Amino acid sequence: MTTSISRRTFGRGAAATLLLNRRLARACSPTPDRLTAEQVVQRIRSKMASDGIPWQPPFPWKPVDGFKYGDPATPVTGVVFTFQASFEVLKKAVQAGKNFIISHERMFWDHLDDLGTLQHDQPFEVPGSLETDPVVVAKRRYCEENSLVVWRFHDHQHMLKPDPILTGLIAKLGWQRYSVPVQGQMIGTAFVLPETPLKEVARHVARSLDSTTVRVIGDPNLPVKRVGLGAHKLVEILKPLQTCDVVLMSEPQDCDAFPYLRDAISLGMPHPKGLIAANHEKFEEWGEQDAPAWLKTVLPELPVEFIAAGDPYWALPQKQI
């Protein structure tokens, strides 16, 4: 469909956009009484230190937290917490008059945001460089034009006690009373439920997480009492697969977890029995919603808000099991 627009209407829209950018630029001009992005980060690190959480990467060979774009000396007009600093989130931050984005996940898609080589996502290496890729260039230009600063807060956010990402997920599922601690696993939590068919557990997960893309492996009528948790890879869920009826995980790799489950079930093994897979955003984003309240305890002078990255997928209608 083609929509015509008058020069006057176009001019008004362009003027409004220019005015918004100028206001944000003025707000980002150095002033002695406005905190910089670096000072905000220092507040966060001091808060964590006072809570007994040292600022040191849990995985020294792949330190992911830190500034991903922008000048740390930029005066902060406001803070946005988000699961991922997508372009849509960046635009909403600008519209809200906030220029410091704290993102749980990567900004430029590589685990370490290494645009030069993307070598850290082995074995799925992408040859060459993305530094001149048009998507990268456009995203960087937008950040520069709007004085945006992006800082990643992933590993250390998971180190908070309790882990807000985990508690957010549990609350969204409504499984607080079913939660039990487990030892020796990547995620030290499982759930002991009243016996429920796998298909009903999966439906509850989909409804609770507001997702249309939950995937399931296993007998739909499998009686489920114990649900384990996992992250993204087969190696991370091997233990809960052997002790639980089903494992709930996010963004699994189709090349390992799914075929492993399928082969084990076809072989008639007593374990594993089933897998419920949700996408990454819908699994972890709920923990970011409470992050502004946490930050306001150490940053009362700045406006802080949560902006959802949202579900990136949509699914074709499927026949109900």
- Domain layout of the chain by residue ranges: 13-161, 164-279
> Span 13-161: which CATH code?
3.40.1390
Q: In what order do the strands lie in the sheet with 79-82?
A: 66-69, 149-152, 100-103, 79-82, 304-306
Query: Does 164-279 match 13-161 at the fold level?
Result: yes
Residue carrying the six token digits 């819908």: 282
Cis check: omega of the bond before 162, within 30 degrees of 0: yes
Token digits of residue 142: 């937008």
In eight-state DSSP terms, residue 208 is H
Enter the pTM of the model: 0.83
Q: Which residue has the higher pLDDT, 287 or 221?
A: 221
User: Which H or E element spans position 257?
Assistant: helix 257-266
pLDDT at 10 over 50: no
Name the average pLDDT for the chain. Answer: 85
Q: In what order do the strands lie in the sheet with 189-197?
A: 179-181, 189-197, 223-230, 246-250, 275-278, 215-217
* pLDDT value, residue 113: 78
CATH superfamily of 164-279: NIF3 (NGG1p interacting factor 3)-like (3.40.1390.30)
User: Which H or E element spans position 138?
Assistant: helix 134-145
Confidence grade of residue 109 (pLDDT, cut at 50, 70, 90): confident
For 54-107, the pLDDT digits (tens) are 888 777 767 889 999 999 999 999 999 999 999 999 999 999 999 999 999 999
